[in-house]
Amino acid sequence: MRPIEALYRLQQVESRLEAIDRDLASLDTGERLEAEANRLTQELAKDKEMLRKLRQELLDQELELNDMEAKMRKMEDLLASGSVRSGREVEHMQKELDEFRRRKDILENRMLDLMLQIEETERKLKEREELLEQTKEQLTQIRQQAAMLKEMLTKERMMLLEEREKLRATLPPELLARYERLKARLGGVAVAKIEGNLCGACRVTITAEIIRALRDPEGLPTCENCGRFLFGEV
Ligand SMILES: [Zn+2]
C-alpha cells in the first residue's frame, strides 16, 4: 500500500472509530422508558388504593342503607298496625320517618356518585395497565436492540482498532506526526480525496505538478491551498 493510501485509509478508520464511540455513548438503552414504566407502576398502585377505598365506602353506605330501611319498615308497620294510639307519638314517629327518608336520599345520591367514581377509576386503571404492558414490551425491544447494536459496534470497533495499529505500523513516525498535526488543525481531515481536478476538502483546482506527484508510489502531494495531503486513484 502506498503511504498516501495508508494515510487516507487511516483517516477513514479513525473517523469511523469516532462515530462508533459517539454512537456507543448515545445508545438508547431504554432509561426514559424505564422511568415511564416505574411512574406508571406507581400510578397504578395509587389507582388500586383509590378503588379499594371507594369500594369500601360503598359497602359501608350499603350497610347503613339496609339498616335504615329495616328501621323504616319496622316503624311503618307499627304505624299501619294502629297500635300507637298517642297522637303525639304518631307525629313524633312520622317526623322521624321523614328524617330517615331525607337521609336515605342523601345516602342514595352518595352511593350513585360512588358507583360512578368506581366505574371511572376502573376504566382509568385498565387503561394504565394496558399502557404499562405496552411500555414494558417496548422497553424489552429497545433493550434487545441496544444490546445487539452494542455488540455489533463493539466488534467493528475492535476490528478497526486492529486495522489502525497495522496501518500506523506501516507509516514512518514523522509522517504520522505530520498527519496528526494536520488533522488537529484542519477539523479532523488531514487527507483530502481528489474529486475531478479539485481538492475534495477546499475545492481548489489542483496543479499538474500534483498529478505527477500522485503517479509516484512514494509521493505525498499536498493541496497548495489548504495544505492537506491529497489522495486520488491514478
Ligand atoms: Zn485543499
Of 18-22, 33-37, 57-61, 212-216, the range with the lowest mean pLDDT is 212-216
The pLDDT, as a whole number, for residue 211 is 86
Read off the C-alpha cell for 152: 455489533
Which residue has 505538478 as its cell numbers? 209
pLDDT at 212 over 90: no
- All domains of the chain in start order, with CATH: 26-169 (1.10.287.1700), 173-231 (no CATH)
pLDDT at 165 over 70: yes
Ligand 1 geometric centre to CA of 167 (Å): 24
Ligand 1 geometric centre to CA of 202 (Å): 4
> Which whole number is the average pLDDT over 156-172?
97
pLDDT at 1 over 90: no
Ligand 1 geometric centre to CA of 228 (Å): 6
* Contact (CB, 8 A) for 232 and 193: yes
Amino acid at site 123: R
Ligand 1 geometric centre to CA of 140 (Å): 49
Total Cβ atoms within 10 A of residue 225: 13
* Contact (CB, 8 A) for 167 and 205: no
Three state DSSP letters for 113-180: HHHHHHHHHHHHHHHHHHHHHHHHHHHHHHHHHHHHHHHHHHHHHHHHHHHHHHHHHHCCHHHHHHHH
> Which whole number is the average pLDDT over 48-56?
98
Quote the CA–CA distance of 179 and 175 in Å, as a whole number: 6
The pLDDT, as a whole number, for residue 234 is 63
